[in-house]
């Protein structure tokens, strides 16, 4: 050891465990997500009438059965900042096979922004690295939605 390291106090390292915490539950009558419409209905019911942009991730098992849903980020009236690590965190912790992302547009316009398209691409790349399939990204509005997969962005 170098002379100047002998008098340095030891560094405390925390010993931790990481787990998901269930805050509440909701019933899903379809049991499986078979289409973007199914995912839209579940996300819409979960979000209700929010007035700001909410980015959510729907985690699913190998049979496309929802296991959990989480609000990853709450943005301003017209924007949201989303990082892949936050989106994939609950999917990794719950051993999900796949996810569907979604966010609402309070403007009621389902047109994806350049940022929506860019974040979708980043999520797909990150999902590939960790082995979680990003199935779709939905833009939710009051009475309709847009699937970025069906629109050719994925």
pLDDT digits (tens, 9 = 90+) for 93-124: 999 999 999 999 988 999 999 999 999 999 99
What's 135's domain CATH number?
3.40.140.10
Retrieve residue 2's tokens: 């170098």
Domain count, the chain: 1
Q: Does residue 65 fall inside a structural domain?
A: yes
Quote the mean pLDDT of the chain: 90
Cα distance between residue 88 and residue 109, in whole Å:
26
Tell me the CA end-to-end span of the chain in Å, nearest whole number. 54
What residue ranges in the chain does DSSP mark as E strands?
Answer: 54-60, 66-74, 98-104, 133-140, 145-147
Residue ranges of the alpha helices (H) in the chain?
Answer: 36-47, 84-93, 114-130
- Nearest 5°: phi and psi at 80? -150, 140
The boundaries of the domain holding residue 109 are: 32-147
Tally of CA atoms within 13 A in the half-sphere of 87 that contains its CB: 30
Q: What is the pTM of this model?
A: 0.86
Q: Does residue 131 fall inside a structural domain?
A: yes
Cα distance between residue 123 and residue 99, in whole Å:
10
Residue 2 pLDDT > 60: no
């Amino acid at each position: 050891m170098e002379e100047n390291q002998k008098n340095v106090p030891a560094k405390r390292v925390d010993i931790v465990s990481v787990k998901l915490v269930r805050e509440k539950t909701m019933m899903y009558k379809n049991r499986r997500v078979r289409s973007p419409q199914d995912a839209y209905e579940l996300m819409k019911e979960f979000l209700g009438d929010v007035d700001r942009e909410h980015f959510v991730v729907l985690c699913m098992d190998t049979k496309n059965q929802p296991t959990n849903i989480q609000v990853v980020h709450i943005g301003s009236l017209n924007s949201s900042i989303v990082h892949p690590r936050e989106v994939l965190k609950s999917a990794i912790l719950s051993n999900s096979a796949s996810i569907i992302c979604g966010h609402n547009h309070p403007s009621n316009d389902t047109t994806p922004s350049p940022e929506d398209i860019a974040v979708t691409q980043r999520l797909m790349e990150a999902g590939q690295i960790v082995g979680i399939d990003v199935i779709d990204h939905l833009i939710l509005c009051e009475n309709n939605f847009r699937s970025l997969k069906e629109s050719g962005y994925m």
